[in-house]
Structure 1
Amino acid sequence: MSGQFWTVAGVAVLAGATAVGLWTAPGAEPPRPPQSEARVSAAVSDAFDGETREALHTEIRAYLLSNPEIVMEMVGLIEARQQADAQAAEIDMVRNNADALFNDGFSYVGGNPEGDVTIVEFIDYQCGFCKRAHDEVVTLVEQDGNIRYIVKELPILGPMSMTAAQATLSVLENDGPDVYKEFNDALMRFGGRLNDQIIDRLAERSGADVAAMREDMDGREVERQIAEIRTLAGALNISGTPTFVIGDTVVRGYMPLPRMQETVELVRRVGQ
């Protein structure tokens, strides 16, 4: 058979079985190729006897060794498809949990309540990267002027993280969003390890009623709120802080200010 025929047949097989084989984990069931690719593989198998198929496989191997860029091109296409699928899955997760993310009725809402882009940030008050991001988030919200900013307390770094989250949610309920913001800023900008005395002192300096805070922070309402945030984090596959939801986009980990700005503008353009 001619070399051109072998090449065409090889590409047909590569479009299906070879690409699947490259990306099958050891011990895992190979994914089924799309129906059109399955028909190609079946047609190749039916057209040749065993000896001819073996010769075809030898020719394909030789062709790939001589043209390895084809494999790299296929890998790039597979990776791009996987990335697109992952992004689509995250968009679906955000949309399926939109009410809990954007309108839960108890989380702090700052910035411009009527802003055209909403940023939700999951934080822990003992998270070093949350503290690093804090002033950049504040700068972004203040300079942009058209961002709705929501905070979700997600205490994952020990008992004092839980205490700080309970305290801030109690202050938000008892003293309102302005005092909450001062308290949130104070906790995020505090450079040492938190303890009960420091939390109380920062709350008092922020204008909070510390006695009321302490009375309510262990109550069922604060417990319910933190439980709802944890359930939401689980639904979004969030296991670390900070995590940002910007529009439909989930960004896991610290973002410098320029990247935040780029992401906000991208969300705006897509939404237009």
Structure 2
Amino acid sequence: MINRLILPAFMAALVASGPTAALDLETMSAEERTLFRSEVRDYLMENPEVIMEAVQALEDRQAADQANADLALVSNNADAIFEDGFSFVGGNPDGDITIVEFMDYRCGYCKRAYGEVEKLLETDGEIRFIVKEFPILGEQSILASRFVIAAKQLEGAEAYKSLHDALMEFNGDITIAALRRLSDTYELDADAIESRMNDDSVTDEISQTRALAQKLRITGTPTFVVHDEMLRGYLPYDQMRAILDEKREL
């Protein structure tokens, strides 16, 4: 019979053994099942922290499983992530570590992350930074991505970076008129860029990045890949800095 003296050990063992562990109540008599359930309830009521410990253990296990799965995803798709041949490459192209960002110009957290990433690039001259255009937040996101990709194809990386930076700090509605005004600011050929926006080559870049995101199980922005690790969501500068330092020690 399970009593209060052995129940804590039993519960700990049950949690540690994972989801495959099960207690066969069918082998107990009705009286034993009733007593067991009563003892479990009483124990948990007296020690509610056990529930939180079990939840934390489950969350830690799930996080570890996710991290291991992400490592495999990054490894299996490394060429498409780091060397796709069309995504913008900034920072130091010959740097000793690479940060890849999947972003959307309508994403508030991407805009917050923009300042953190720029600070990293300014304070660390050995970061290779890749931008993946991943417009998932509606027609304005797609419009912006098509415009900046067209600008990159026609006028090069510097033009792309100027428009990218401007859009990351832009808070109004993204329209053709707004995009043309931004391009005029940098003396770019707005007519040529607009004409190029719906070209198959622009569509192909977006489609390839979406296919890659699907393989990587990326559903939100920003998502970063740092060296071999996927970081899903916004991270402040200090955390990004610590992750870079950690990766460099590997």
TM over 0.5: yes
**TM-score (norm. length: structure 2):** 0.82
Counterpart-to-counterpart distance in 1, 2:39 and 2:155: 76
1:183-262 to 2 correspondences below 5 Å: 183-262=163-242
- Indicate the residue corresponding to 1:140 in structure 2: 120
Q: For 1:119, what is the secondary structure of its paired residue?
A: strand
Task: Identify the range of structure 1 (259-268 vs 110-119) with the bigger mean alpha-carbon deviation.
Answer: 259-268
Counterpart check, 1:32 vs 2:12: no
1:152 CA displacement: 0.9
Q: CA, structure 1 residues 201+15, in 2 after alignment: closer, same or farther (shift >3 Å)?
A: same
CA-based RMSD: 3.1
Counterpart check, 1:157 vs 2:129: no
Write the deviation string for residues 34-92 of structure 1: whole angstroms up to 9, x where unpaired.
Answer: xxxx7xx68x998x877667666665665555555555444433332222112212222
**TM-score (norm. length: structure 1):** 0.76
- Indicate the residue corresponding to 1:28 in structure 2: none
- Indicate the residue corresponding to 2:103 in structure 1: 123
> Alignment identity in percent?
42
Q: Is the Cα contact below 8 Å between 1:117 and 1:148 reproduced in 2?
A: yes
Could you list the runs of 5+ residues in structure 1 that have no partner in the other structure?
21-30
Counterpart-to-counterpart distance in 1, 2:11 and 2:209: 48
Q: Is the Cα contact below 8 Å between 2:2 and 2:36 reproduced in 1?
A: no
Q: CA, structure 1 residues 216+13, in 2 after alignment: closer, same or farther (shift >3 Å)?
A: same
Counterpart-to-counterpart distance in 2, 1:186 and 1:17: 51
1:12-51 to 2 correspondences below 5 Å: 12=10, 15-16=13-14, 31-33=19-21
Q: CA, structure 1 residues 81+143, in 2 after alignment: closer, same or farther (shift >3 Å)?
A: same
1:141 CA displacement: 0.9
Over alpha carbons, which structure has the higher Rg? 1
Q: CA, structure 1 residues 9+194, in 2 after alignment: closer, same or farther (shift >3 Å)?
A: closer
1:207 CA displacement: 4.0
Q: Is the Cα contact below 8 Å between 1:133 and 1:255 reproduced in 2?
A: yes
1:106 CA displacement: 0.3
Q: Bigger relative contact order, structure 1 or 2, given CA contacts below 8 A and separation 6+? A: 2
1:153 CA displacement: 0.9
Q: For 1:104, what is the secondary structure of its paired residue?
A: coil
Q: CA, structure 1 residues 185+75, in 2 after alignment: closer, same or farther (shift >3 Å)?
A: closer
Q: Partner amino acid for 2:13?
A: A
Counterpart check, 1:105 vs 2:85: yes
1:156 CA displacement: 1.9
- Of Structure 1 and Structure 2, the greater helix share is in 1
- Indicate the residue corresponding to 1:80 in structure 2: 60
1:104 CA displacement: 0.7
1:202 CA displacement: 1.4
Counterpart-to-counterpart distance in 2, 1:2 and 1:192: 65
* Residue correspondences, number: 250
Q: Is the Cα contact below 8 Å between 2:220 and 2:233 reproduced in 1?
A: yes
Counterpart-to-counterpart distance in 1, 2:15 and 2:167: 56
Q: For 1:110, what is the secondary structure of its paired residue?
A: strand
1:12 CA displacement: 4.6
Counterpart-to-counterpart distance in 2, 1:198 and 1:17: 56
1:127 CA displacement: 2.5
